Structure 1
Amino acid sequence: MPVTTVRWPDYFDEQAYVIEAKGWFADVLVEWDGRRYRPVFYDPVRLGQEITDELERGGAFFREPNLVVIDRVTREHMEAAIGALADGGFPLVPEPDRG
């Protein structure tokens, strides 16, 4: 099985309570099987707010690439989701190669 490397931003631990309260986080980089991924984590309440806001602004749809919905946006929940994604072959869109 490919190795999964998770790179958290330096500020994460200091700001973890703010990130959880916001219910959204997209600044973690995951390396899996030689590719890089940036999952976008939402809790269900925040996701519902984002969808409603977009549609009320006249958007025809809501789309978020690499969307992962978890109960709470904490390191523990994100790491569990990343592990499950890795077990499932990491079915997200990888970052473009910059080579």
Structure 2
Amino acid sequence: MGELPYKIQQLKLKRIEELNSKLRNELARERMTASNACLSIIDYTSTHSDYAVPEVWGFPTSGENPYDNNRKSSFARSQEDSSNCCVIS
């Protein structure tokens, strides 16, 4: 019966060692201050055009916006331009 408290202590020690290992890994992770992260975001957004921010980059010209859902694919345009197309009704 004296063996049970010893096993409980071993389990507690194992859990503490696992937590200690996780905390060491967390401590070893590369860190960045919030101000440096903000500067990095500002630098990226000022060097890469993003039409979601028209105040900075303006509005895209026709056919320039890759996110325009109204653009037809090149296949659809080639089908419209073709005189060999048939309509089945």
Q: Same fold (TM over 0.5)?
A: no
Q: Return the structure number with greater strand share.
A: 1
Higher Rg of the two aligned structures:
2
Q: Return the structure number with greater helix share.
A: 2
Structure with greater contact order relative to length (CA < 8 Å, sep ≥ 6): 1
TM-score when scaled to structure 1?
0.24
TM-score when scaled to structure 2?
0.26
